[in-house]
Amino acid sequence: MSSETLPAFIESSNVERKQSLSEEQEKSQKPRLGEGFEPISKRQMKKLIKQKQWEEQRELRKQKRKEKRKRKQLERQCQLESNSDGNDRKRIRRDVVHSTLRLIIDCSFDSLMVLKDIKKLHKQIQRCYAENRRALHPVQFYLTSHGGQLKKNMDENDKGWVNWKDIHIKPEHYSEFIKKEDLIYLTSDSPNVLKELDESKAYVIGGLVDHNHHKGLTYKQASDHGIDHAQLPLGNFVKMNSRKVLAINHVFEIILEYLETRDWQEAFFTILPQRKGAVPTDKACASSSHDKNSASVEGGLDSDSSDEENSRNELDSQYEEEKQDKENSSESAVNSIPH
């Protein structure tokens, strides 16, 4: 080999050696099957892409969280400012003045009710408890003779009742721990009408949902035990199209409202549902029928006899009006005939 071709041969051999070395390095860097590396599926590739995007957006998420915290803080501040007029619940709770008046729901009629009525009683007690907790002048709330079907229904459907606050739930009868002279049984059959509430007394509401099957039972029980009794002055302020029977929670809420306003009429019209068709007594249709209705109400509110008498009085008045109209029309007809 000549001296001229020797450098060219050496250079070409060096190039071939470098190419072979680079090919070997590439082969060594590629993952081999069976050496712990497997081909990546499309699903795995998507996961890797999402993971990479999540990492890239970490700072952005952190910034959004900061903005959200600031926005909530501003909302809370605006809420506090808007509630500065006294509508804030916490503010109301601080302004509460507890009444010394004791209000008792007598649950001693458990055996007289079917399960459907027991469930209604439970709902009404729940409403009483909730309203008393929200009231500005909450009463000393007692639930007495608690047991039987009512307790079983509450255990099954309202297990949280054992944690109720500001209520005295007792299995004993109210007469066992409250003096007889302090008791006043609220019953619509009583001839006595309340004028105002005495906060030193304990007022009893009969826990009976019976759809008038046991009419006059609470009045009889109060009379037999020598307990004072009275009815709310409903007939003095309200005239209703429907029967004057009030639910337990309505009586309870009327008393709470009266303790706040000291106005029976306002208490009645705030609490009574619209379906009762209640109107003030001074807007009654006729003064004569109003007097008769008032007399029948004084004889026993919510009684069927008073309702029947009221309906008879209305029919009599309608009959007299129709009779008078006929007489007037006949007289005018006679006068119009030429003589």
Q: Mark whether 210 is an active-site residue.
A: yes
**Which amino acid, one-letter code, is at 135?**
A
In DSSP notation, 184-233 reads: EEE-TT-S-B-SS--TTSEEEEE----TTTTTTHHHHHHHHTT-EEEB-S
Q: How far apart are CA 32 and CA 39, in angstroms?
A: 10
The CA-atom distances, in angstroms, between 336 and each of 324, 326, 327 are 18, 15, 14
Lookup result for tokens 């915290």:
69
Write down the catalytic residue from 182, 210, 228, 307.
210
In angstroms, the CA 206 to CA 103 distance is 11
Q: How far apart are CA 129 and CA 166, in angstroms?
A: 9
Beta-carbon contacts of residue 261 (< 8 Å; ≥ 6 apart): 267, 270
Specify the amino acid at residue 303: S
Q: How far is the C-alpha of 325 from the C-alpha of 317, rounded, in Å?
A: 12
Distance, CA of 234 to CA of 297 (rounded, Å): 9
Residues noted as catalytic = 210
